[in-house]
Amino acid sequence: MTTQKKLCSLREIMARENLDAYIVSSTDPHNSEYLPAPWKQREWLSGFTGSSGTVVVTPNVAGLWTDSRYFIQAGKELQDSSITLHKLRIPGAVDYPEWLADVLPENATVGIDPFCTPVSSISRLKACFSGKDIRIREVTDVFGELWLDRPSLPDTPVMSLELSCCGRSVENKLLFVRKFLSDVQADYILFSSLDEIAWLFNIRGRDIPYNPLVISYAVVGKESAHLFVKTHKLARETAEYLRQVGVEIADYHHLFLFLDALQGSAVFSLDPFSLNCAVYNKVSSRFTVRENRSPVILEKAVKNPTETAGFQKACLQDGIALARFFYWLEQTVGEKDINETEAAEQLAKFRSVCSDYISDSFPTISAYGRNAALPHYSALPGKDSLLERKGLYLLDSGGQYLYGTTDVTRTVPLGELTPEEREDYTLVLKGMIALTNCRFPQGTSGAGFDVVARYPLWRNKKNYGHGTGHGIGHFLCVHEGPQEVRQNWKEQPFLPGMVTSNEPAVYLEGQYGIRHENMLLCTDEGSNAFGEWLGFATLTLCYFDTAPLLPALLTEEEKKWLNDYHALIFEKISPFLTPEETAWLKHKTSPVY
């Protein structure tokens, strides 16, 4: 069906259910960023493939709300769809709750899928709707009627991590959770975020592309622990190990049966920012509920020594693959036709040489020329661009290894560049180096030093519309919280052991995009009379192409950092390369004066 026909069918259901609007979220029952195929309902309805966005449908109009990462992409994908793009994170932006409150009449009814709507979103909607008495009605799985060839839930196997990979036992993590239960005076805590469950039980899977997660729920009590998952997906050894450490296993769809069997006097701790409305309502209808942020979010963000060592090992493997890739790219472009998709596939081949490589950690952004001006560009076979010996090529990619997750971006010249391209290339690198070298007092959040990365661009009246850095999971989601480096993010202070990306950028629509990205480990930098101090150590091991640089724009301190970094890369990576690749890397990492 075309998008218009899908909208027409949805409106017929809305009329039958007496709905004045219906909200189509971009998540699943677990508030995931990347979705299993059966929960990509927003993408199926609208054709918009970005990871963030909400569609709202009324009897007469439909709109998509998304942020600046996807403005260009959404504009293209929504053509001829009759869905209007609403831009967020810009001056004067109006988000969909406020828009609905403005356009709907008094006593209107808005439909939502309670399984795909977090409790926190409902709270915000109610706050916006209260002035006009607009009601919210839960209408479960509308798309079951519309999406007739909807995929089924995945059946990928579940694996358990060795202690040598994760550094902390399930028993130890359960003790941590039970200490939290004691602190908040609750009997149980219910987990629905898949990365939290994977971390807690040291399990990994392939239910979601690029994220080694298992579709599941979990309940931990003071004396028991319960994992709800498709049981046939667990290998016998994994199931036996979990049972030995006191974890009872039940079918994924039996969570509500379990809750029905519990005594009604129990007290549950629930996280309204991750738990879906349907499960929250089920628990709160029978038990006393205390709302708390999940303790696992911050606990897994601070990596233990084994995890930190794993990140270093993963970044070494990534560095080898990237060096071999960029050597291949330089030798191949201009000699034979290479398009963006083929380049991404070649990088995956180089990564897969490592036996511990599991998959990419997100869809590779392989973007040449003007395509790189789309921060989350996706090359499609048959519609992608050929790489030519001119301009800039941006590659944002990452890998999932048994011992860590990687995320790295490099922008490289394929030929002649304009003076503006060279200046922007240098300014973005200056910002990345400045953030890398930043020291800050303990208690500082990412908003406190986001300006450090932007300042070289700001001085030249340039900017970028996304955050500068995000947390990275340990053989988990490439995007994790609670820390971020973002202008308006003021909540979670950075802590030693957190792993975060550092990725300033600049984009000129229709011309080019430049982004440099390394992974940083937050480190303890000691104390003095002014307090405790933190800083960053670089994990990523991949050279920056110095050919586009304007050395006159770099300070002596910036040149020293770059030269020291390149010397380290040559030392770490060259032993794994061929003589030809080694000579090439030696040239690429030669000092800048």
Full DSSP string of 62-112: EEEEE-GGGHHHHHHHTTTTTEEEEE-SSTT---HHHHHHHHSPTT-EEEE
If DSSP codes are grouped into helix, strand and coil, which group holds residue 46? Answer: helix
Maximum C-alpha span of the chain: 74
Contact 565, 539 (CB under 8 A): no
Strands (E), 301-407: 357-360, 365-368, 392-397, 399-401, 404-405
- In this structure, the strands spanning 440-441 and 217-221 are unpaired
Q: Give the architecture (CATH level 2) of 3-146.
A: 3-Layer(aba) Sandwich (3.40)
Q: Could you read off the pLDDT of 135-157 as tens digits, one per residue?
A: 999 998 899 899 999 999 999 99
Q: How confident is the model at residue 510 (pLDDT cuts 50, 70, 90)?
A: very high
Strands of the 21-24 sheet, one edge to the other: 83-87, 62-66, 54-57, 21-24, 109-112, 135-138
Q: What is the pLDDT of residue 3?
A: 94
**What is d(CA 146, CA 3) in angstroms, rounded to the nearest whole number?**
12
362 C-beta neighbours (distance < 10 Å), count? 23
Return the residue matching tokens 């409790």: 119
Q: What is the pLDDT of residue 376?
A: 85
- 3-state SS track over 174-205: HHHHHHHHHHHCCCEEEECCHHHHHHHHCEEC
pTM: 0.92
Contact 62, 7 (CB under 8 A): yes
pLDDT at 408 exceeding the cut of 80: yes
Q: What are phi and psi of 27, to 5 degrees?
A: -135, -175
pLDDT at 102 exceeding the cut of 90: yes
Nearest to 189 by CA among 285, 263, 255, 269: 269
Q: What is the pLDDT of residue 51?
A: 83
Residues of the chain with CATH 3.90.230.10: 302-587
Nearest to 387 by CA among 331, 328, 325, 339: 339
Mean pLDDT, rounded, for 397-404: 97
Give CA angle at 218 (238, 145), nearest 5°: 105
What angle, 0 to 180 degrees and rounded to 10, lies between the N-to-C axes of helices 340-352 and 305-332? 130
Q: What is the pLDDT of residue 388?
A: 95
Q: What is the pLDDT of residue 1?
A: 85
pLDDT at 513 exceeding the cut of 80: yes
Mean pLDDT, rounded, for 539-564: 97
Q: What is the pLDDT of residue 490?
A: 64
Mean pLDDT, rounded, for 219-239: 94
pLDDT at 547 exceeding the cut of 80: yes
To the nearest whole number, what is the mean pLDDT of the chain? 95
Contact 196, 296 (CB under 8 A): yes
Residues of the chain with CATH 3.40.350.10: 3-146, 159-300
Q: What percent of the chain has pLDDT over 70?
A: 100
Give CA angle at 535 (430, 164), nearest 5°: 115
Q: What percent of the chain has pLDDT over 90?
A: 89
C-alpha radius of gyration, the chain, whole number: 25
Nearest to 161 by CA among 362, 304, 28: 304
Q: What is the pLDDT of residue 489?
A: 66
Mean pLDDT, rounded, for 477-500: 89
Q: What is the pLDDT of residue 380?
A: 85
DSSP classification of residue 167: S
Q: Could you read off the pLDDT of 424-457 as tens digits, one per residue?
A: 999 999 999 999 999 999 999 999 999 999 999 9
Q: Domain 159-300 in CATH: superfamily? A: Creatinase/prolidase N-terminal domain (3.40.350.10)
Q: What is the pLDDT of residue 70?
A: 85
**What is d(CA 340, CA 386) in angstroms, rounded to the nearest whole number?**
6
Q: What is the pLDDT of residue 10?
A: 96
DSSP classification of residue 387: P
Q: Which fold has domain 302-587?
A: Creatine Amidinohydrolase (3.90.230)
**Token pair belonging to 498:** 């957190």
Q: What is the pLDDT of residue 13?
A: 95
**What is d(CA 402, CA 470) in angstroms, rounded to the nearest whole number?**
21
Q: What is the pLDDT of residue 479?
A: 95
DSSP classification of residue 517: B
